[in-house]
C-alpha cells in the first residue's frame, strides 16, 4: 500500500485517530485504558506536547493534541509501540495491533477546533454507550468540569469561551449533521459481506435478480445511501450485480 506524505498544519493542533486492526479491541478492561493514558502522560513530558481532548473507545481512540513543530509522528510512534508491546504481552498475542498508521488531520481554525472537540466527547453517546458525555469515564469531559488530571490541558479550550457555563452548554450539545459531515475522519475499509448486509437491510433484496427487479426509485434510494457511506461504485456493483454505469448515474 503506498504511503502518502502527511500535511503539516499551521496551528500545530491535530485530530489524531488510532484504530484496532480488523476492528479488534484495543481496550479490553480498565487497566488497558489506564495504561494508554499513562503512556500519553509519560510522553507528554518527554516530547513536549499538549492534549486538548481525548476519548478512548473499545476499538479506537481520539486525541486532540498541540505540538510545537512538525508532525505527530514521533509522538504517536512511541505511544503506539509501547502500548502494542504491553497489549501483546498481556493477552499473549503477536503481530500488529493498530490498523495501518495513525490518522491525523490538522485543525487550523477555532470553529473547526470546537467541532472536533464536540465530536470527540460526544463519541460515546453516538455509539449509544452512555446517555450523555459526562457519563463516560474514558474521555476528557470530566476534566473540563473540574476533575484534576495530568492528561488534558484544559486551559486553552476554556479560554475560548466567555465563561465555563458557555463551554458546558456546548459540550452537552449533539453535533448538527453539517458539523458532523465537516469532520475529517480516516476512511474505513468495509468488507463485501458488510456491504451485502447493509444493502439487504436497505432494499430487502438478497439476490442479483431481486436487485434488478427493483423500481428505479427504490434502487436509487438504497444506492444513494450506500454511496453516502463512502462505499465505492465498483464494490456496490460487485455485491448487488447492478452495473457500474447504472450505479454511477445515481446521485
pLDDT at 8: 58
Tell me the pLDDT band of 225, cut-offs 50, 70 and 90. Answer: confident
User: What is the structure's pLDDT at 195?
Assistant: 84
Going by pLDDT thresholds of 50, 70 and 90, the confidence category of residue 158 is: very high
Q: Does residue 27 sit in the same domain as residue 139?
A: yes
* Share above pLDDT 90 across residues of the chain, in percent, rounded to a whole number: 57
68 vs 180 pLDDT, higher one: 68
Average pLDDT, the chain: 88
- Among the candidates 135, 155, 182, a domain finishes at 182
The answer to whether residues 169 and 82 belong to one domain is yes
Task: pLDDT band for 4, please (50, 70, 90 cuts).
Answer: very low
- 52 and 124 part of one domain: yes
Where does the pLDDT of residue 230 fall: very low under 50, low under 70, confident under 90, or very high at 90 and above? low
The Cα angle at residue 58 between residues 44 and 112, in degrees rounded to 5: 60
Q: What is the pLDDT of residue 91?
A: 96
Residue 152 inside a domain? The answer is yes
Is residue 129 domain-resident? yes
DSSP bridge partners of 14: 65, 106
pLDDT band at residue 188 under the 50/70/90 scheme: low
Q: What's the pLDDT band for 46 if we cut at 50, 70, 90?
A: very high
Which residue range(s) make up the domain with 235? Answer: 192-249
Q: Which of 156, 182, 208 is the last residue of a domain?
A: 182
pLDDT tens by residue, 73-114: 899 999 999 999 999 999 999 999 998 778 999 999 999 999
Task: Look up the CATH number of the domain holding residue 61.
Answer: 3.30.70.1290
Mean predicted confidence (pLDDT) in 25-32 = 97
Give the end of a domain, one of 130, 155, 182. 182
Question: Between these two residues, 136 and 21, which has the higher pLDDT value?
Answer: 136
Whether 1 shows a pLDDT value over 50: the answer reads no
- If one counts the domains in the chain, the total is 2
pTM attached to this predicted model: 0.73
Sheet strand arrangement including 50-56: 50-56, 60-66, 13-19, 103-106
The answer to whether residues 124 and 27 belong to one domain is yes
pLDDT at 135: 94
Confidence band, pLDDT 50/70/90 cuts, at residue 3:
very low
More reliable by pLDDT, 5 or 72 = 72
pLDDT score of 179: 82
Considering the domain boundaries, does residue 187 fall inside one?
no
| Nearest-angstrom CA–CA distance, 122 and 134 | 9
Q: Establish if 6 belongs to a structural domain.
A: no
Task: Identify whether 217 is part of a domain.
Answer: yes
Assess whether 177 and 147 both reside in one domain.
yes
167 and 221 in a single domain? The answer is no
Residue 3 lies in a domain: no
Q: What is the pLDDT of residues 7-23, one digit of tens each?
A: 555 789 999 999 998 77
Residues 117 and 178 in one domain: yes
Domain check: are 245 and 197 in the same one? yes
Mean pLDDT of 229-237: 79
Tell whether 77 and 103 lie within a shared domain: yes
Amino acid at each position: 500500500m503506498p504511503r502518502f506524505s502527511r500535511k503539516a498544519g499551521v496551528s500545530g493542533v491535530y485530530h489524531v485517530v488510532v484504530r484496532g486492526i480488523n476492528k479488534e479491541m484495543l481496550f479490553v478492561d480498565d487497566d488497558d485504558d489506564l495504561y494508554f493514558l499513562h503512556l500519553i502522560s509519560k510522553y507528554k513530558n518527554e516530547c513536549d506536547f499538549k492534549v486538548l481532548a481525548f476519548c478512548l473507545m473499545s476499538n479506537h481512540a481520539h486525541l486532540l493534541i498541540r505540538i510545537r513543530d512538525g508532525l505527530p509522528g514521533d509522538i504517536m510512534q512511541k505511544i503506539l509501540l509501547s502500548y502494542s508491546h504491553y497489549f501483546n504481552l498481556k493477552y499473549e498475542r503477536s503481530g500488529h495491533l493498530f490498523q495501518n498508521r495513525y490518522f491525523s488531520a490538522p485543525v487550523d481554525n477555532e470553529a473547526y477546533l470546537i467541532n472536533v472537540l464536540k465530536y470527540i466527547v460526544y463519541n460515546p453517546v453516538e455509539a449509544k454507550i452512555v446517555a450523555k458525555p459526562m457519563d463516560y469515564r474514558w474521555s476528557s469531559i470530566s476534566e473540563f468540569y473540574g476533575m484534576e488530571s495530568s492528561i488534558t490541558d484544559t486551559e486553552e479550550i476554556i479560554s475560548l469561551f466567555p465563561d465555563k457555563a458557555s463551554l458546558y452548554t456546548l459540550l452537552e450539545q449533539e453535533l448538527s449533521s453539517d458539523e458532523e459531515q465537516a469532520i475529517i475522519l480516516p476512511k474505513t475499509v468495509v468488507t463485501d459481506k458488510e456491504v451485502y448486509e447493509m444493502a439487504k437491510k436497505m432494499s430487502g433484496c438478497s439476490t442479483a435478480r431481486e436487485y434488478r427487479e427493483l423500481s428505479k426509485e427504490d434502487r436509487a434510494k438504497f444506492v444513494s445511501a450506500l454511496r453516502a457511506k463512502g462505499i465505492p461504485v465498483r464494490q456496490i456493483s460487485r455485491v448487488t450485480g447492478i452495473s457500474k454505469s447504472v450505479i454511477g448515474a445515481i446521485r
